[in-house]
Amino acid sequence: MYESQNSNYVDHNDPYYLHHSDSPGLVLVSQVLTGENYASWSRSMNIYLSVKNKFEFVDGSLPKPNNYNPFKLKSWIRNNNIVISWLLNLISKEISASVIYLDTAVAIWKELKE
């Protein structure tokens, strides 16, 4: 969750916000990506990640912050890892073996698209 260090205000629309239900084991969509179902799987994931305000982590519009803001960097890493876990939970074991060592959700998303 991203909040100002000097404030108790929490912005639920901030992409760094994590709800207590946003766990790594969360199942987002009902279908697992097997390869031939990419179009419907990616559409479902796009919708869900948008609802969770996390699509910026897969489309590249929220880049990794620099080290000058350690609070924001830690929040970005935590959210990126949550999104990675969601993606890995929803792809076949064969496909996950080819992307598991990629460091960012955007890198995994691009690889799955190819």
Q: Does residue 105 contact residue 84 with C-beta atoms inside 8 Å?
A: yes
pTM for the structure as a whole: 0.85
pLDDT digits (tens, 9 = 90+) for 41-70: 999 999 999 999 999 999 999 999 988 888
- Residue appearing with tokens 């987002």: 28
Specify the DSSP class assigned to residue 87. Answer: H
7-26: pLDDT as tens digits: 567 788 888 888 887 878 77
